[in-house]
Amino acid sequence: MVAVQKQVGGRGPLSTLQRVQGPLTLGLLTLIPVLIYVASDPGPSFTDSFSTLNSMAVMLGLAGISAFALNLVLGGRFSVVDTFFGGLDRMYGVHRRNGEIAYLLLLTHAILMFWSRATLSAGAAFDLLTNDAGWEVTFGVLALTAMTVSIVLSVYVHLNHEVFVYVQRSFGVIFVFAALHVFLVPGADARSPLLTFYLAVLVVTGLASFAYRSLFDDVLVRRRDYKVVEANRLTDLVTEVVMAPEGKPLKHEPGQFVYVSFESPELRAVMQPYKLETLGRSALFTLRPGEISQQFHPFSVTSARGSENLSIVFKAVGDYTRAVRKALEHGARVRVEGPYGGFTLKSASSRSLIWVAGGIGVTPFLSMARSLDGTEYEVDLYYATKTQRQAHFERELEKISDRVHGFRMFQVVEETDGFITAEKIAEVSGGLSGKDIFICGPPRMIDSLRTQFAAQGVPRHRLHYEIFGFAR
């Protein structure tokens, strides 16, 4: 899948407070049950090794289950949360890190709990791994084991998008077992009604968020119906899909992206649930559970602001995008959710802009360029590709440059011009002072240019970047 999927920058120039308010809030909400436990009577005890290890395990467990619940809330993809974190994709970055923290807290909780029992006897410790300790403990063991398997599959196994989505949804079921463990085991929550209430609120909120996004999303999540009116194969790999609304059209800001699901019999026939391909002496088995029409994939919007039709452009590099390119038919029904993302002209603090696009990362800039008529922006677009053939939108951008005063497009072809650099951009554009810089492309290009622009003295709040290829 190639679409614009990761962004840091938000809906406007982010202050230091705006950049840290999301993580700080999550940290505080995670620590609150620990603080309540410490203040409760009786609170943690550190009189001997057993009590010390047990108390530390309880505190880590309280923080872990809280972080786990909050991660389900982040996964709900709520617009208010999107805004609070300065953009959906920025929020997903926090979501990933918070998930890692939740797992480490819960894993350490289990280790310390086992260790504390080991100070009594080896048998007492290993009883925790059997049903002899009771179902309340077994629920916790099952939750941690399943969580470990799901994380290993997500991080270390190359899964197709559909399987990856189902693995992620398994965390909701895992959370149910973790919550049962928390409330059934006699512990800290039994000592404090306030702690019990707080944990109950977090658990209910987390489960409600999971149900909203993963169980009842087709009913509760607002989506719009479209139909395909054009599927233009621009090159051997790049395709543009134009969709007409079957009701009120979606309104978007240039640079945003949407989640799209194609309801196409032809596509469903190509994306078979099970497929076995022979590859020489080996074989490739593909598992794709669930209805393909219920799988939503993110794509950049390339249509202009105010356009009734909605268009997306993608490069066929994954099995899903290759299938869409091959099988999508005229008239196919489409469900669209969004728009999302803060990589927009509204995030600029200046009217003088520099856009840097790497390959198919030009897609958000297409929507921006198509929306420049009647605006007062001064824009230099640097369109970087490996070869001349990969500059798929060169002619259209040149026409916009001829039509719109203040818009210039510069091609940078790697095989003849070398890599794009901040120094070259500063030289061609007459310096970087007072200009907002937008970058979209491969992660390596982003990282390199961020460092270069910082060395050129560009303030952090004037750098806006978006990385495509954020499937996970």
Q: What is the pLDDT of residues 350-406, one digit of tens each?
A: 999 999 999 889 999 999 999 999 889 999 999 999 888 888 889 999 999 999 999
Q: What percent of the chain has pLDDT over 90?
A: 57
Most confident by average pLDDT, 128-142, 256-270, 347-361: 347-361
pLDDT reported for residue 166: 81
pLDDT reported for residue 164: 79
At 91, the pLDDT band (50, 70, 90 cuts) reads confident
Confidence (pTM): 0.81
What pairing do the DSSP bridges indicate for beta strands 4-8 and 310-315?
unpaired
Residue 315: CB atoms within 10 Å: 22
CATH of region 13-219: 1.20.120
Q: Are 279 and 293 in contact (CB under 8 A)?
A: no
What pairing do the DSSP bridges indicate for beta strands 463-468 and 436-441?
parallel
Tell me which amino acid residue 415 is: E
Query: Which residue intervals of the chain bear CATH 1.20.120?
Result: 13-219
Fold that domain 346-468 belongs to in CATH: Rossmann fold (3.40.50)
- The answer on pLDDT for 86 being more than 60 is yes
Given the candidates 3.50.50.60, 2.40.30.10, 3.40.50.300, 3.30.1540.10, the CATH classification of the domain at 224-340 is 2.40.30.10
Query: Which residue intervals of the chain bear CATH 3.40.50.80?
Result: 346-468
- The answer on pLDDT for 2 being more than 50 is no
What is the rounded (10 degree) CA torsion for 88, 92, 94, 99? 150
Among the listed ranges 81-95, 420-434, 436-450, which one has the minimum average pLDDT value? 81-95
What pairing do the DSSP bridges indicate for beta strands 333-340 and 257-263?
antiparallel
pLDDT reported for residue 87: 74
- The answer on pLDDT for 16 being more than 70 is no
Task: Indicate the DSSP class of residue 443.
Answer: H
Encoded tokens for 101:
């923290």
Q: What is the pLDDT of residues 22-67, one digit of tens each?
A: 899 999 999 999 999 999 888 899 999 999 999 999 999 999 999 9
Q: Which of 289, 368, 347 is nearest to 463 (CA)?
A: 347
CA 384 to chain centroid: 25
